[in-house]
Amino acid sequence: MAAPLFELSGIHKSYGTGTEVEVEVLHGIDLSLATGEFAALIGPSGSGKSTLLNVIGLLEPPSAGSYTIIGRETSALADAEITALRGRTIGFVFQFQHLLPAFTATENVLLPGLIADGPITAERRENARRLLRDVGLAERLDYLPRKLSGGQQQRVAIARALALASPLVLADEPTGNLDTHAADEIFALMRRFNRERRTAFLIVTHDPRLARRCDRIIELVDGRIASDCVNHAIATSDE
């Protein structure tokens, strides 16, 4: 069996460590995701989903436990190494797109490469525009975010997450700010990139309709994994 894309072992996460108000949010999480998986992370508000996504996304270190991603155990890495590893490996899509308002759609997609490697090449610019065409924005390449609908802005965010061909995309309520039609379109786009590029997706969602369309459903309750199961209905339909 191939090595997992990432693996968490005994992960704990606390805030206010060493103080009277210390609170532990994650309690011994064991979780792995393989290349090309398309998984939903569900659970009630306050269950620790966003905290878990922050740990997986190398935005926050765990308080205890081991986290390995693309074969690298992260606990001994320096901050600069963590930043570089995150930039090469993980794309992010959020409920609110965090597009820079003064930048065009193309320029927003170019940002990860600009941060990671510096100068913008003609090849990288064409890749950004190709991604925008792939997400259905061929006529909006040079539009500012304020001239795009919410669904169109989320399409830009997906293109940005894929700009460096990261093997993993973490999506935190990516459709939570959209109507049902736009949500379905955004979900279909993520699914398409998953199947065509073998990009792994871990999607936090409160929408049971979308969760049921994922290959795997992981449920987090009170900082612990309550269930982790393959969606056999999807697996059967794809055979």
Report yes or no: 224 and 28 within 8 Å, Cβ to Cβ: yes
> Residue 12's pLDDT is what?
96
pTM of the complete model? 0.88
Lowest average pLDDT, out of 92-101, 189-198, 219-228, goes to: 92-101
Confidence of residue 98 (pLDDT cuts 50, 70, 90): confident
pLDDT, tens digit (0-9, with 9 covering 90-100), for 197-221: 899 999 998 888 889 999 999 999 9
- Say what the pLDDT of residue 234 is: 62
pLDDT of residue 2: 61
- CA angle at 176 for the pair 171 and 179, rounded to the nearest 5°: 130
How far, in Å, CA of 176 to CA of 173, rounded?
Answer: 5
Which domains are present in the chain?
37-59+79-237 (3.40.50.300)
pLDDT for position 239 = 38
Helix and strand numbers (H, E) in the chain are: 8, 10
Percent helix, strand, coil in the chain, to 5, is 35, 25, 35
